[in-house]
Structure 1
C-alpha cells in the first residue's frame, strides 16, 4: 500500500510537469532554454561525433525498438513470463498512442528540416512533429521496463547499480543525439522522458493491482498445463 501511494504521487507529479511543459510550448514555439542547448550542442558537433550518435539514436528509433521488442518477447516467452509480456506490450502500446496523439495535437515544427515518419519505408508521407521526442520516450519505456525487471528479479546490488547506470547513459545519449543531430529541441527531449516515465509508473500500478487476481485465475487452470505456465501468465 505504501509503495502504491509513492507511485501515485509520482504519477501526479509527472503529469503536472508534462502539462506545464506542454502549455508552455503551446504558448511559445521557441524557448530560451531550447536556443541555449541547441547552440551548445552545435558547438560540440563534429562529423565523427555525429556519426557515432546516429548509432546510439537507432536504439530509440521505431525500427530499433521493433527489433529489441521481438528479442525481448522471445526471451520472456521462453521464461513463460506471460505476465511481463503483457506488461511490456501495454507500456509500449501506450507510448506509441500517446506520442502520436501529442505530436498531432501540438504540431510543433522541428528545429531544422521537416522529418517524416519512416518505418522501413512505410508512412513516409506523414510528418513527424517535434514535441514530444518519440526517440526519448521509446528509449525511456524500453530501458525503463528492463530496469524494472532487473530491480525486481536480480538480487545482486552491484549488478542492479551497474545496469541502472548503463540504461541511464543510453537513454540520455539517445536524447542528446537527437538534439545534436538537429531533430529536436531540449524541451522535446525532456517531455519525452517525462511522458515515458509516467507511462511506466501508470502501467506498473495497474500491473500490481490486477496481478493477484490474474494469478488466482490462472492457478485454477487444468493441472495438465505446466506449472510454469499457470504461475507466470
Structure 2
C-alpha cells in the first residue's frame, strides 16, 4: 500500500461512528449496478417519450454499458485486492462466483459516468442558469458522496477511486466525441429521427 492510500485510509477509519457508516452505506448505493441500471432505463424511456431524443438515449446506454465493460476488464487486468474483505460480484441479489477486485472502483466509475451524463443533459436542456448550476452542484455532490463512501466503508483504496474518476472522465469525453461520428458514419442518425 502506498503512503497516499495509508494516510487517507487512516483518516477514513477514524470516522467509524455506526450512524455515519449507515449513512455512507445509503450513499454508496447510488453507485450500485442496480441503481445505475434502473436510473439509466428510466432516463432512456423519458428521453424517448418526452423529447424524442434518440441520440442521448443511445449515448447513455453506450456510456453506461461501455463503462461497466471497461471497469470489469480493468479489474480482471489488474486484480488488485480490496482493503477490506474480498467480495463477489452481485447484481439484483444474484451473486456470481467472480471476485470483485478493487481497481478501479466500479461504484465510482458508474456514478461519475451517469452523473456526468446528467450534467451534460442539464447543459443541453436547461436554459435557466440557476437551474443549471443547481443541477451541476447536485450531480457533483452525488459523485463526491459515492467516492467518499467507498473509501470510508473500506471497500477501496483511494488510488482506486482516483483511477476510476480518470478512466470515467476519459470514457465520457471519448464517447461524446466519437459516438456522433460513428452514428453518422453508419447512418444511424437517419434511422433515429
The interval holding the TM-score normalised by the smaller chain is over 0.9
Structure 1: how far apart are the matches of 2:181 and 2:96?
Answer: 40
Structure 2: how far apart are the matches of 1:184 and 1:88?
Answer: 26
Structure 1 runs of 4+ off > 2 angstroms?
A: 120-124, 207-218
1:57-112 CA-partner distances (Å, limit 9, x unpaired): 11100111122122111111212111111111111121011101110010000001
TM normalised by structure 1 equals: 0.77
Q: Which runs of no fewer than 5 residues in structure 2 stay unpaired? A: none
The Cα shift of 1:217 comes to 3.0
Aligned with 1:44: secondary structure?
coil
Asked if 1:108 is matched to 2:69, the reply is no
Aligned with 1:118: secondary structure?
strand
Deviates more, 1:67-76 or 1:169-178: 67-76
Change over 3 Å in CA distance of 1:215–1:89 after alignment to 2: closer
**Residue equivalent to 1:38:** 9
The Cα shift of 1:216 comes to 6.8
Structure 2: how far apart are the matches of 1:51 and 1:181?
Answer: 9
CA contact (8 A) 2:74 2:104 kept: yes
Over alpha carbons, which structure has the higher Rg?
A: 1
**Residue equivalent to 2:37:** 66
Asked if 1:143 is matched to 2:115, the reply is yes
TM normalised by structure 2 equals: 0.93
Structure 2: how far apart are the matches of 1:212 and 1:115?
Answer: 42
Structure number with the higher strand fraction is 2
Aligned with 1:124: secondary structure?
strand
- Alignment equivalent of 1:55, drawn from 26, 40, 56: 26
- How many residues were matched structurally? 191
CA RMSD of aligned residues (A): 1.6
Structure 1: how far apart are the matches of 2:104 and 2:184?
Answer: 35
Change over 3 Å in CA distance of 1:55–1:216 after alignment to 2: closer
